[in-house]
Chains A and B, each alone.
Chain A
Amino acid sequence: MSDDRLSSARLSPRDVFHVGSAGLRTRPMRVVLSALGIAIGIATMIAVVGISASSKAQLLQELDKLGTNMLKVTPGEDPFSGDSVKLPKDAPGMVGRMPGVEHVGATGDLEQTVRRSEKISKDETGGITVKAGTEDLLKALRGTVGSGTWFNDATGRYPSVVLGHVAAERLGITTPGQQVLIGSQYFTVIGILDPLPLASEIERAALVGWKGAGKLLGFDGHPTQIYERSTDASVGTVRGLIPRTVDPENPNNVRVTDPSSALQAKAATEGAFTNLLLGLGGVALLVGGVGVANTMIISVLERRHEIGLRRSLGATRGQIRIQFVTESLLLSGLGGLAGVVLGSVATYVYAVSGGMPWVVPPWAVAGGFAATLFIGTVAGLYPAVRAARLSPTLALQAG
């Protein structure tokens, strides 16, 4: 008997879990309350990251649909007179012949106004402009017709008009076939366009066929906006070449813009302000960690008998330490789990109600759990060390 080597037995992971969770099982209410702090912190962070990721995903989706390969060409201003110069009549054709360009459309501003009838004063334009539009315009814009049709070779020559959706709304036109007064002539509405996020000026316009505009409304044939779509790879080169192609003598008079750049910038900055909210979530998490530490200290004080009993049953200091660190980890882990679920649900509700795709980045979930485990360890370490240092006899004497 005396020659047996004394070595303490290791607890199996299952035993460690069992012993570590024993304290939690007997006090479920306290578990809920102290895990709540961690849960709120993690939920805040997951929701902040998830909501900004969802709205970014929506923007990118939209951008993807609209394409980032469209450029808009407009006349610049004459540097001396300050007047706006005119683009050459054959500018759309020249742009269309550039390598890489797939579709070109153009509009030309007209001076006429559009009204429902003669009874409405000419000055009440309602912000609606009248433009001549080429046949290819819709393709270049990737626009769609909500009701009715787009121009074809025939309708473009006659008094027919296609309305942007804002223009139609302001004029009170709901179905094609109705008539509007442009200048002093009635035009038949043949189509109403769907919204065009990249060309809001077209949304607010009444479009007349290019040839019809020249014949019926005195259009001089100079385009005021050219919309060009090229392959994604050639956007950069096309952009650099357009001014000299359109107006080789005065390339400075030609302005090229990328209507999607504003959306792109928005997508890039989406999430910048979330740092502040993430910080708030971090504070909540910290407070939750303090709550867990507090609960653990109380737990150790309350369970001095149990600690003494376990020591007398043969638990080493290390085993007592592990028990309380495990308890703390379980406590914060439960909070973290609840937080991830809560945050994901909050993101889901927000995304679905805003018509966005539901995105919760895996790195946020992993980060949330890592933070939880870190907090659980830190919060549990001090109480656990205290528990392990308790003298086994003191623990038994009390009560």
Chain B
Amino acid sequence: MSTVVELNQVAKEYPGGVAALRGVDLRIEREELLAIVGPSGSGKSTLLHIVGTLDRPTAGSVTIAGHDVATLSDRRLSALRARHIGFVFQSFHLVPGVSAQDNVAEGLLYSGLPRAQRRERAAHALERVGLADRMHHRPHELSGGQKQRVAIARAVVGEPDLLLADEPTGALDSASGEAVMELLHDLNAEGATIAVITHDSEIAEALPRQVRIRDGEVVADLRAGSDARAGGDTSSDGAERGEGR
């Protein structure tokens, strides 16, 4: 089985009748590097939450690493996140006052590994992102780009099946942003499956696959090398807002 994510006709409607997603189909294969791109309000954040199992869809099915999310309890869902998914956030979310190594080790806290092993693996992950010499620095002693690399190390330390990066360069200057994107490319080359959620088309176009979202629907699914292929077969029936309720 090489499919990591499989979304089938996923819809998400918030209380009050706002439809954030309207029937999204999405497959992510192992070792893919893709961008989920769209303007703000397009529903890409909701898609991130649903793929990351932080939220459940109101309709449709979500399968992550072979597990049907709808059937899982909070405990099992948490275990799924601990083992199979890593998150990178726009604003890093590092724990202040704690060394880079301990911040990364926090990524394994809920995996059941003993503390010594967590710290050892954290040191490895930091080497992997090129911060071996910043092991004992605290977040306020690091630059923005370094912070994001610590956050990436925390996300990959558990060897997740899927790495979700939400606007990873949003809070960085362009030089650090490029370095972070380069790191993601490298990790992908080493075998990681990575989805980058962004509103920036420039970043998206540099990635092998782009899934374009607009108004809660996939409007295009482009792969580098092959011709533009319309992923929006579903857009035939009434995509306009204001219909329905």
Residues of A within 8 A of B (CB): 1-4, 6-12, 14-15, 19, 22, 25-26, 305-306, 308-319, 391-393, 396-397, 399
B66 within 8 A of A: yes
Q: Contact at A313–B107, with CB atoms within 8 Å?
A: yes
Contact of A8 among B1, B79, B85 (CB under 8 A): B79
Contact (A306, B110) CB under 8 Å given A8-B75, A8-B79: no
CB-CB under 8 A from A310, the residues of chain B are: 109-110
Interface size on B, residues (CB 8 A): 38
Contact (A313, B82) CB under 8 Å given A1-B66, A2-B1, A6-B72: yes
Q: Contact at A7–B110, with CB atoms within 8 Å?
A: no
Q: How far is the CB of B164 from chain A (nearest CB, A)?
A: 9
A317, A391, A393, most chain B CB atoms within 10 A:
A393
CA distance A11 to B110 in the complex (A): 7
Q: How far is the CB of A391 from chain B (nearest CB, A)?
A: 7
- In the complex, what residue of chain A is closest to B76 when comparing beta carbons? A6
CB-CB under 8 A from B66, the residues of chain A are: 1-3
CA distance A318 to B74 in the complex (A): 9
- In the complex, what residue of chain A is closest to B78 when comparing beta carbons? A316
B93 within 8 A of A: yes
B67 within 8 A of A: yes
CB-CB under 8 A from B52, the residues of chain A are: 312
Interface residues of B in 83-140 (CB under 8 A from A): 83, 85, 87, 89, 91, 93, 95-98, 106-107, 109-112, 114-115
Interface residues of B in 36-78 (CB under 8 A from A): 45, 49, 52, 54-55, 65-67, 72, 74-76, 78
CA distance A10 to B112 in the complex (A): 6
B217 within 8 A of A: no
Q: Contact at A312–B81, with CB atoms within 8 Å?
A: yes
**Can you list 22 contacts pairing A with B, beta carbon distance less than 8 Å?**
A1-B161, A2-B1, A2-B65, A2-B67, A9-B112, A10-B112, A15-B109, A25-B97, A305-B93, A306-B93, A306-B95, A311-B54, A312-B52, A313-B109, A314-B78, A315-B110, A316-B75, A316-B79, A318-B75, A392-B55, A393-B49, A393-B55
Interface residues of B in 148-165 (CB under 8 A from A): 154, 161
Q: How far is the CB of B14 from chain A (nearest CB, A)?
A: 11
Q: Contact at A15–B115, with CB atoms within 8 Å?
A: yes
Chain A to chain B: the 6 pairs with minimum beta-carbon distance, closest first: A314-B82, A2-B66, A9-B112, A314-B110, A316-B78, A8-B79
Contact (A315, B78) CB under 8 Å given A15-B109, A19-B109: yes
CB-CB under 8 A from A15, the residues of chain B are: 109, 115
CB-CB under 8 A from B7, the residues of chain A are: none
CB-CB under 8 A from A11, the residues of chain B are: 109-110
Q: How far is the CB of B92 from chain A (nearest CB, A)?
A: 10
B11 within 8 A of A: no
CA distance A2 to B65 in the complex (A): 6
CA distance A4 to B72 in the complex (A): 13
Q: How far is the CB of B76 from chain A (nearest CB, A)?
A: 4
CA distance A311 to B205 in the complex (A): 31
CB-CB under 8 A from B91, the residues of chain A are: 305, 399
CB-CB under 8 A from B78, the residues of chain A are: 8, 311, 314-317, 319
B80 within 8 A of A: yes
Complex interface bits, B160-180 against A, C-beta within 8 A gives 1, otherwise 0: 010000000000000000000
CA distance A318 to B81 in the complex (A): 15
CA distance A12 to B161 in the complex (A): 26
Q: Contact at B115–A14, with CB atoms within 8 Å?
A: yes
Q: Contact at A9–B115, with CB atoms within 8 Å?
A: no
